[in-house]
Amino acid sequence: MDKAGFKKVEALGERDPLDRARLGLYPLFTEQFLDWLFAQFGGQSPVYTVHLRGIKPL
């Protein structure tokens, strides 16, 4: 974002882990796929959701 010219780039709120229960809400993923995915991660998801904000300078 900063390379594009944005200023005051910041994370907003807490970052939420995309754990098995959370990913299970999405219809994009089958149970079989999630079994495979979390096996690749050793059972622990390294992925999080964040909110980011950047401002275009005046």
Partner 1 sequence: MTEEAPLKWTDEDAARIVREAYGTVVPGGGTGVADSVYTAEELAQLPAPVREMALGMGNPVRYADPGPGETVLDLGSGGGIDTLLAALRVRPTGRAVGIDFTERMLDRARSHAAMMGLTNAEFVYGTMEEIPLPDASADVVISNGVINLSTKKGRVFAECFRVLRPGGRLVFADSVIDGCLPKEVLENEAAYAG
**Residue 43 CB, nearest approach to partner 1 (Å):** 13
Q: Is 14 exposed, middle or buried (0-12, 13-18, 19+ CB in 10 A)?
A: exposed
Does the protein bind partner 1 through residue 19 (CB under 8 A)?
A: no
53 binds partner 1 (CB under 8 A): yes
Asked if residue 43 binds partner 1 (CB under 8 A), the reply is no
Residue 20's H or E segment, with its range, is helix 20-23
Distance CA 21, CA 41 (A): 15
Q: Which residues bind partner 1 (CB under 8 A)?
A: 1, 3-6, 12-13, 15-16, 18, 22-23, 25-30, 33, 37, 40-41, 46-58
